[in-house]
Amino acid sequence: MPLKKTRGFWFLYMKNFHIITIFPESFDSYLNSSILSRAKNKFLKVKFYNPRDFTSDKRRKVDTRPYGGEPGMVMQVEPIVKAADKAKRKSQNANSKIIIFSPRGKTFNQKMARNFAEKYDNFILICGRYEGIDERVKKILKAEEVSTGDYVLTGGELPAMVFIDALVRHIPGVLGKYGSLEEIKGSYPVYTRPEIIKWKNKKYAVPKILLSGHHKKIKEWREKRGKKV
């Protein structure tokens, strides 16, 4: 597998994402759109593992009532662990990271995305549903819990998409030039043609500094209004 050195680190061009979810079809539209669609097969590969395919229950049931008497249903250990075990075999013991998406996890940010991209070649992403996943899954798989924000979603599929999107951007070649990364150049206000927009009898113009051609002042203007992520 070809390597490329960026920021002092050697990256594998290809990243592999093994997604454990009972709703694999929910990823179709997003993964087949825009940059991720162009990156597939060349820079990333995605495989799905449905826990329902790893249960001994004839109804393919993967959840049951929690101990302790609380309402709701909890995803069972065996189907998820078996799915993860198959994913690990598929990765051929390559450098892997197992992630469980959970509101209790460490909040995902740009630094984490960059570090994961630098350190790991394979990711096993476990998408929970219902009231969550039996806690023993995390212990058995030595997985890390990750949260994409201080809110609760109905499942881990959306966080998995966020995770993949944020990480894939760090693979050399996905965005064309490394300097295209917003975290490198900074996130600042941007404008394009036309120079003046008229909307409901009011004019909205591009800041004059951006039309000046004075690169040093433009850089200072962007740095003052920008944000590093």
Q: What are phi and psi of 82, to 5 degrees?
A: -65, -40
Q: What's the first-to-final CA gap in the chain, in angstroms?
A: 30
**How confident is the prediction for the chain on average, in pLDDT?**
88
> CA dihedral defined by 148, 149, 150, 151, rounded to 10 degrees?
-70
For tokens 């594998």, the residue is 12
The span from the CA of 220 to the CA of 202, in Å, is 28
Q: How many CA atoms lie within 13 A of 212 on its CB side?
A: 11
Instruction: State the pTM of this model.
Output: 0.85
> Within a 10 A sphere around the Cβ of 85, how many other Cβ atoms?
15
Arithmetic mean of pLDDT, 195-214: 96
pLDDT of residue 178: 52
Q: Is the pLDDT of residue 186 over 80?
A: no
Residues whose CB falls within 8 Å of the CB of residue 61, separated by 6 or more in sequence, listed in order: 52, 55
DSSP, collapsed to helix, strand or coil, labels residue 170 as coil
Look up residue 227 and give its amino acid. Answer: K
What's the CATH class of domain 12-168? alpha beta
51, with CB counted inside 10 A (0-12, 13-18, 19+), is: buried
User: So where are the chain's domains?
Assistant: 12-168, 186-225
Q: Is the pLDDT of residue 184 over 70?
A: no
pLDDT of residue 9: 46
pLDDT of residue 173: 75
pLDDT of residue 1: 45
* Residue among 125, 124, 126, 129 at smallest CA distance from 63: 129
> Within a 10 A sphere around the Cβ of 215, how many other Cβ atoms?
8
Q: Is the pLDDT of residue 175 over 90?
A: no
pLDDT of residue 86: 95
Band the pLDDT of 2: cuts 50, 70, 90.
very low
Share of the chain above pLDDT 70, in %: 88
The span from the CA of 27 to the CA of 29, in Å, is 6
Q: Is the omega angle on the peptide bond into residue 194 within 30 degrees of 0, that is, cis?
A: yes
pLDDT of residue 13: 65
Tens digits of residue pLDDT in 9-48: 444 468 999 999 999 999 999 999 877 887 877 889 999 9
pLDDT of residue 35: 79
Contact 146, 102 (CB under 8 A): yes
Contact 124, 87 (CB under 8 A): yes
pLDDT of residue 97: 96
Arithmetic mean of pLDDT, 187-214: 95
pLDDT of residue 177: 57
pLDDT of residue 179: 54
72, with CB counted inside 10 A (0-12, 13-18, 19+), is: exposed
For tokens 């996905």, the residue is 174
For tokens 């959306």, the residue is 158
